[in-house]
Amino acid sequence: MASITLDLSDTQFQKLQDLAVAHGIELEILLKASIEDWLNSQKSEFVDAANYVLTKNAELYQRLA
């Protein structure tokens, strides 16, 4: 498993700790879940954009085929 190191301000770190405590989970778990959600949303946004382009240009693609 890979690991990274981030430099956070004291304020950012405290906000993350407070959020983890509010959810009753460890900070590392909160960060992993947040990163996973972000990565999944990026994939979803790409798929949505690709589907929009394909639908919008379907007639053009048919003529070019």
Compute mean pLDDT per 10 residues along the chain, 65 residues long, and list them: 93 96 95 90 82 86 79
**Within 4-57, where are the H helices?**
10-23, 27-56
The helix/strand/coil state of 19 is: helix
56, 59, 62, 63: CA torsion to nearest 10 = -130
Predicted pLDDT at 28: 94
The model's pTM is 0.62
Closest CA relative to residue 16, chosen from 38, 3, 32? 32
**Sequence-separated (6 or more) residues with CB below 8 Å from residue 27:** 16, 17, 20
pLDDT at res. 63: 81
At residue 65, the pLDDT reads: 74
The pLDDT score that the predictor gives to residue 40 is 82
